[in-house]
Chains A and B, each alone.
Chain A
């Protein structure tokens, strides 16, 4: 019986995939995302150049067959750096989004199901964190932790969690007094069990769509912080730091800036197109949220 259910599910999943693909924008989004993910995963197969190998003789070379996107001020191959930078960008985006989802769901459940005063305190905290402009928050936090990927993840979590927790909280509040929750309570289920088995499955799906739509934002935060020198440390390739290298030398060697910006544009566009299509198909109500 379980096999049958999972069969049905995977069948449904392929059908939704087909629906996304039928929308031209969705198909374009998927193509872009696959292109960037593929480039990041198969980086070692696609290029023989080491992303961090410095060779002073090849400094500032314009794009050629050997160096598809040219080289930077240290003679490093930009195509290879862009591919490896994709690994950083995508893994940070996935890890940070997953972390903020987990924390947001837990805090939202606590705020929605817990005592009133705790709810009020948490809402106040969320609003206060939200009242900092993102870059200001990032700048202040980096003074605290120093520039690192951890700082990037913390900034993303701080930016995302208040919104996620709020959504979960509102829905939990709505479900709190509903009949199936009262029934579970009367059958002696503990708070943890009710939250995990009865409330969470009902509140999580709209959040998943929103979180997937936030992935381009997270990629932009990572690239932006690395651009300011607040994210990944220098030898590690990141789209943001390539862009910064290019910015410094923008008058003489514009291709470095182009190489750094292009993957950011393509990836954010791909994920956004994909997310928009999915949202329109699955949950048109979310469209109201801007």
Chain B
């Protein structure tokens, strides 16, 4: 809560320092001085800085983020319209990274020290290192342009879930690929730790099949740190989502902010950045809570 407030303060300072008059942008070059002055009063731009900040701060906590300067719609509505697309993209990215990362990490831990382990290790580092927008462009180039397997632009027909999912495959791969590496490494490390522990030794002593020990007893514990990691990762995925939305011409919050900045639509920029920041903080909290629910030891520390 405090962090969000300070973030809002920083955001407000940045917007206040930006050269250019939002009223002038809204009314276009042909507006008269009197019209501009009228809108400035309506937007509260004539009041002292601290009054402006207080108004912004107070309104924002009540969910009023001001109006879109160009279309005069509520910023909150515009952002909320785009948010599901971005959330779907991030969720797709998480699915990719979990679906590939956990089996890879698990396999590397079981085959510890072999060639397979080493290859997974190098691959993880490699996919972590390569920036997501390069992945996005190369994915577009290979699967959409060269092979024509998957669509290149847009988010699919509204209402047609199958079509939307097909449109989600490539962008979410670009968002999630780096996290395959993080998760594989994390799962491998915690698997190795868990496999050494007492209860696994007990399970072995009882003669349970190795496969059951690995997947049923070790993996359920080894997966915990991954949840925390994903909580942190969502912020980075938001960043990658901006690039993925631009490269694949998908609607979403990232594209919204990018377009809003090009048109100097400041209330929209502040509103969207604020919403994503709050979202980021909340998702972190959610990840902590999930870990708490899964692992009783952490709960007492929260």
Q: Which residues of A contact B (CB under 8 A)?
A: 25, 124-125, 127-129, 131-136, 139-144, 216, 220, 223-224, 227-228, 243, 246-247, 250-251, 254, 257-258, 261, 264-265, 268-269, 271-273, 276, 290
Given contacts A129-B10, A141-B14, A143-B18, contact A254 B3 (CB under 8 A): no
B248-263 contacts to A (CB < 8 Å)? 254, 257-258, 261
Q: Which residues of B contact A (CB under 8 A)?
A: 2-4, 6-7, 10-11, 14, 17-18, 122, 125-126, 128-131, 133-134, 137-138, 140-141, 145-146, 182, 185-186, 229, 232, 235-236, 238-239, 242-243, 246-247, 254, 257-258, 261, 264, 266, 269, 273, 276-277, 280-281
Determine which of A125, A134, A246 lies in contact with B236 in the assembled complex, contact meaning CB atoms within 8 Å: A134
Given contacts A124-B3, A257-B141, contact A247 B247 (CB under 8 A): yes
Chain A nearest CB, measured from B73 CB (Å): 21
Chain A nearest CB, measured from B56 CB (Å): 15
On whether the beta carbons of A140 and B14 are closer than 8 Å, the reply is yes
23 contacts between A and B (CB under 8 A): A25-B122, A124-B2, A133-B280, A135-B239, A136-B238, A136-B273, A139-B242, A144-B18, A216-B129, A223-B133, A224-B131, A224-B133, A228-B246, A247-B137, A250-B137, A250-B145, A254-B145, A261-B137, A264-B131, A265-B134, A268-B130, A269-B130, A271-B129
In addition to A128-B7, A269-B130, 20 A-B residue pairs with Cβ atoms within 8 Å of each other are A124-B6, A131-B277, A131-B281, A132-B7, A133-B236, A133-B276, A135-B243, A143-B18, A143-B266, A224-B133, A227-B133, A228-B243, A257-B137, A264-B130, A272-B126, A273-B125, A273-B129, A290-B185, A290-B229, A290-B232
Given contacts A143-B264, A223-B131, A268-B130, contact A128 B6 (CB under 8 A): yes
CB nearest to A264 among chain B residues: B134
Q: Looking at chain B's contact residues, is the secondary structure mostly helix, strand, loop, or mixed?
A: helix
Determine which of A133, A142, A144, A261 lies in contact with B134 in the assembled complex, contact meaning CB atoms within 8 Å: A261
Q: Cα distance A128–B280 when bound, in Å?
A: 12
Residues of B within 8 A of A265 (CB): 130, 134
Chain B nearest CB, measured from A116 CB (Å): 17
On whether the beta carbons of A125 and B6 are closer than 8 Å, the reply is yes
CB nearest to A252 among chain B residues: B145
On whether the beta carbons of A290 and B186 are closer than 8 Å, the reply is yes
Residues of B within 8 A of A142 (CB): 261
CB nearest to B138 among chain A residues: A261
On whether the beta carbons of B273 and A131 are closer than 8 Å, the reply is no
CB nearest to A134 among chain B residues: B239
By Cβ-Cβ distance, the 7 closest A-B pairs, closest first, are A220-B131, A272-B129, A128-B6, A135-B239, A133-B238, A135-B242, A268-B129
Residues of B within 8 A of A290 (CB): 182, 185-186, 229, 232
Of B17, B131, B145, most A-chain CB atoms within 10 Å: B131
On whether the beta carbons of B277 and A132 are closer than 8 Å, the reply is yes
Q: Cα distance A254–B229 when bound, in Å?
A: 36
On whether the beta carbons of A135 and B238 are closer than 8 Å, the reply is yes
Chain A nearest CB, measured from B283 CB (Å): 11
On whether the beta carbons of A133 and B131 are closer than 8 Å, the reply is no
Residues of B within 8 A of A243 (CB): 133-134, 137
CB nearest to B228 among chain A residues: A290
Residues of B within 8 A of A257 (CB): 137-138, 141
CB nearest to A146 among chain B residues: B19
Q: Cα distance A113–B254 when bound, in Å?
A: 40
Q: Cα distance A25–B124 when bound, in Å?
A: 13
Residues of B within 8 A of A268 (CB): 129-131
Q: Cα distance A125–B2 when bound, in Å?
A: 10
On whether the beta carbons of A269 and B238 are closer than 8 Å, the reply is no
On whether the beta carbons of B229 and A258 are closer than 8 Å, the reply is no
CB nearest to A138 among chain B residues: B239
Chain A nearest CB, measured from B244 CB (Å): 11
Residues of A within 8 A of B17 (CB): 144
On whether the beta carbons of B276 and A144 are closer than 8 Å, the reply is no
Q: Cα distance A124–B281 when bound, in Å?
A: 14
Chain A nearest CB, measured from B226 CB (Å): 10
On whether the beta carbons of B239 and A133 are closer than 8 Å, the reply is yes
Residues of B within 8 A of A25 (CB): 122
Q: Cα distance A264–B135 when bound, in Å?
A: 11
Q: Cα distance A129–B273 when bound, in Å?
A: 12
Residues of A within 8 A of B18 (CB): 143-144
CB nearest to B254 among chain A residues: A135
On whether the beta carbons of B137 and A132 are closer than 8 Å, the reply is no
Of A133, A265, A269, A273, most B-chain CB atoms within 10 Å: A133
Residues of B within 8 A of A220 (CB): 131
Q: Cα distance A129–B129 when bound, in Å?
A: 23
Q: Cα distance A132–B6 when bound, in Å?
A: 11
Residues of A within 8 A of B4 (CB): 131
Chain A nearest CB, measured from B237 CB (Å): 9
On whether the beta carbons of A224 and B243 are closer than 8 Å, the reply is yes
Q: Cα distance A277–B210 when bound, in Å?
A: 33
Q: Cα distance A251–B146 when bound, in Å?
A: 8
CB nearest to A125 among chain B residues: B6
On whether the beta carbons of B140 and A250 are closer than 8 Å, the reply is yes
Q: Cα distance A14–B276 when bound, in Å?
A: 48
Q: Cα distance A133–B138 when bound, in Å?
A: 24
Determine which of B11, B126, B141, B281 lies in contact with A254 in the assembled complex, contact meaning CB atoms within 8 Å: B141
On whether the beta carbons of A131 and B261 are closer than 8 Å, the reply is no
